[in-house]
Structure 1
């Protein structure tokens, strides 16, 4: 019984320290903005279909300070890589120096996949996300809703929790979300440093969010 009590005490203590550290990491990220300290290495999470189209429209608005750019797509995504390469090649033709990579990780959740199997596939995606994020060490993660961004953002938070590097998490909710957040948005709302919505109705429901009108 005494051993169980000690183990429980240690577990509670570690859990409290983890929560405190997580809170500190999330809060300290709001003291500076991307680009204030020179070039920004950005990890861009591209989903399939409309998610990729929207995220590339966002990338068009970013200055050349956001470099290098590390795109992450799901291993079952057959279209996003071509779109990304086309976009980056257009930047080269416009005179901007293009520094980018494209990485693949397992998809966290397929459309209509059950919740129980989604938990397993998300853990599998996290297994690939951790070494990727720890190797790239981005200054910022930019995402707009695909489930693949959840394990990547968790890995980015872990960098800060371990005291290795604070990574800003910037989330832009899809324009098709008018009244409610997506599941990914609900998960990342308390964890993101900057959370953008594109409808005032969402801003009214989620006070932490930032409303700038239609971004994409």
Structure 2
């Protein structure tokens, strides 16, 4: 009788130990990837993006808020070289037709400009591949609607997080497995050298531009889930006063 009673206790004790160990591993991983936690732990914080070759394209994801945030972000995107930043993904909140329309108008303008200068660019004359920009506009459910009760906010925030995880993690991995390519790991920068990186389908983006908080928070959390799993994650730029200087480092 005592043996039968003690066996479930050992099972629960083992499960508790496994949960504690997993929690410790997760906490250690967060300390290694979250800059503010690395700083508090006395570790070196290295947020400098890796050097890229001149012919390497950069995939950009942009979250467009509403009103002035959209105008601010589109002004920044319009300053990017479409020949270098060839892939752009726009995220807008559900029902934000204004931001979606403005993003498409900007891409139409960029496409016409690119067509006009194509014959004048020696690099594009020598390039026989299809360099037409690939643009996608995706809708995300709002993390919190205007005047929404704080009691129901966790539910909508969780829904938004799940959709963000689908866009940031699940879809790229599905595309990777469909094409038979292996998920790309994060480049190691501790040695001061970054290995050559080829374009993989599992890459969500190389650069994420956003202006939060709000729906930006679940989007950033989804990016950090990629980091926890050791997958390639985009460089996040969320402070307007730092955007132009950090974009210069990406070149």
Q: Normalising by the residue count of structure 1, what TM-score does the alignment of the two structures yield?
A: 0.71
Partner deviation per Cα, 1:80-126 (whole Å, 9 max, x = no partner):
11100111111112226532110112111112222221111010011
Aligned-residue CA RMSD (Å): 2.9
C-alpha displacement at 1:168, in angstroms?
1.6
Distance of 1:10 and 1:78 partners within structure 2? 47
Residue 114 of structure 2: SS of its match in structure 1? coil
For the 8 Å contact 1:29–1:168, the answer to whether it is kept is: no
Residue of 89, 97, 118 corresponding to 1:70: 89
**Higher Rg:** 2
Distance of 1:100 and 1:29 partners within structure 2? 33
Matched, 1:36 2:52: yes
Matched, 1:86 2:153: no
Relative to its length, the structure with more helix (as a share) is: 2
Q: Normalising by the residue count of structure 2, what TM-score does the alignment of the two structures yield?
A: 0.62
Aligned ranges 1:184-199 → 2 under 5 Å: 196=242
Partner deviation per Cα, 1:98-155 (whole Å, 9 max, x = no partner):
3211011211111222222111101001111111112241122210115122111111
Matched, 1:141 2:141: no
Where structure 2 has 5 or more consecutive residues not aligned to the other structure, the ranges are 1-8, 36-43, 116-131, 173-203, 247-251
1:12 matched residue in structure 2:
20
Distance of 2:168 and 2:227 partners within structure 1? 12
Residue of 128, 131, 134 corresponding to 1:99: 134
Distance of 1:21 and 1:29 partners within structure 2? 14
1:120 matched residue in structure 2:
155
C-alpha displacement at 1:167, in angstroms?
2.4
Where structure 1 has 5 or more consecutive residues not aligned to the other structure, the ranges are 174-194, 198-209, 212-216
Residue 79 of structure 1: SS of its match in structure 2? helix
Residue 11 of structure 1: SS of its match in structure 2? helix
Further displaced range: 29-38 or 102-111: 29-38
